[in-house]
Amino acid sequence: MNKIVTGIFVTALLYSSITLAKNPLDFGLLIDGKPIRTADPSAHVWSDGRLYVYTSHDEECQHDFHMKDWHVFSTDDMVNWQAHGAVLSVAELSWADDYAWAPDAAYKNGKYYFVFPAGTGIKDRVTPSNSTKWMGIGIAESDSPTGPFKDVIDAPLWREPYANDPALFIDDDGKAYLYFHGQNFDYYVVEMADDMRSIQGDFIKMDMGGYEPKMEGPWVFKRDDLYYFTMPEGNRVLTYYTATSPKGPWQYRGVIMEQEHQSNNHHSIVQYQGQWLLFYHRWLETPESSCQKRQRHTAVEYLYFNPDGSIVPVTRTEQGVADFPNRTR
């Protein structure tokens, strides 16, 4: 009898684990009884062997991306997630009170860094000349990957030029590069000072090899000595470039993931336990919600490379990486 009960319990546990691993990811965090709406996932593997996903947080039924804090979740098997709560909120900043948009994180000099766009003012979409919206990039520090992160410089890294959607890439030699998109949705890179509290050198508008991408959310990673610059082109289609240096010049290589609906996408790419993973967000119907509209949720798929280093285009699945534990065992 005990064996039967144990068997049922184990089967139920396995079933729930597999269910949880499906897309969108269930981070196990409810806010006002509804699953937290997350977007702009930025995934990293730190030295404790866990994978951490830093996300922005859509308020339930929010209007026009007025967002207030950022969250982090972690896992060691891509199935069971731990929610660590908000790592930072605009209420803790002296220089911004809104637009807690797509963040990233890095580890350097024994500290964890959380880099984030935030801003203030109003965007008037009907009469743009009435807009007062301003956005900048901040950097906060912690001894722990889950925070709390503190804005120790108590200011954005710079005020001009306009900057949004930062991505931090630490190269093998320890140099830190900050990528972002600027005023005309062009992509820039700037080096970080060694203490990660300021930038050094010039803003470089990158040479994209003649095919000029526009929009948001850059992400850079390195594989086999090749640098990959990836972004949601036109805000929707994930595409990529490669280069032999972190500042380019870049060469366009193609599409990673096509667009879905007329909606933005934002992603990150990381290798974990031998598998390459593409994190992204999906706009999904939320019938349980009062606004009954599509809201954003984090999802993940496997990513594969061809022998020449090109990326095999990825399709969205419901299954996601539910079989991850079987692959990596």
The DSSP string of 130-154 is: G---EEEEEEEEESSTT---B-TT-
- Residues 106-165 contacting ligand FUB, CB under 6 A: 165
Q: Which sign, positive or negative, has the C-alpha torsion 36, 73, 119, 178?
A: negative
266 binds ligand FUB (CB under 6 A): yes
Q: Are 326 and 52 in contact (CB under 8 A)?
A: no
What are the structure tokens assigned to 177, written together?
A: 């590069």
Q: Is the Cβ of residue 44 or residue 266 nearer to ligand FUB in the bound state?
A: 266
* Dihedral in degrees, nearest 10, Cα atoms 78, 84, 90, 94: -130
Taking CB atoms, the residue at the shortest distance from ligand FUB is 101
Tell me, what amino acid is at 244? T
Q: To the nearest whole angstrom, how small is the minimum distance from the Cβ of residue 215 to ligand FUB?
A: 8
Instruction: Confirm or reject binding of residue 264 to ligand FUB (CB under 6 A).
Output: yes
Q: What element of type H or E holds 322?
A: none
Nearest distance from C-beta of residue 218 to ligand FUB, angstroms: 9
Residue 238's CB is within 10 A of a number of other CB atoms, namely: 24
The nearer residue to ligand FUB, 41 or 325, going by C-beta atoms, is 41
d(CA 188, CA 163): 9
| Binding of ligand FUB by 56 (CB under 6 A) | yes
Binding flag, residue 39, ligand FUB (CB under 6 A) = yes
Contact status: 102 vs ligand FUB (CB under 6 A): yes
CA distance 239 to 219: 10
Length of the chain: 329
By CB under 6 A, tell whether 65 contacts ligand FUB: yes
- Return the number of the residue (203 or 283) whose C-beta is nearest ligand FUB: 283
Least distance from C-beta 258 to ligand FUB, angstroms? 16
Asked if 38 interacts with ligand FUB (CB under 6 A), we say no
User: What element of type H or E holds 14?
Assistant: helix 2-21
Nearer to ligand FUB by Cβ, of 71 and 266: the residue is 266
Report, in Å, the least distance between residue 39 CB and ligand FUB.
5
Q: Cα separation of 164 and 230, whole Å? A: 15
Question: By C-beta, is 177 or 180 nearer to ligand FUB?
Answer: 180
Interface with ligand FUB, residue 216, by CB under 6 A: yes
Residues that bind ligand FUB (CB under 6 A): 39-40, 56, 65, 101-102, 165, 216-217, 264, 266
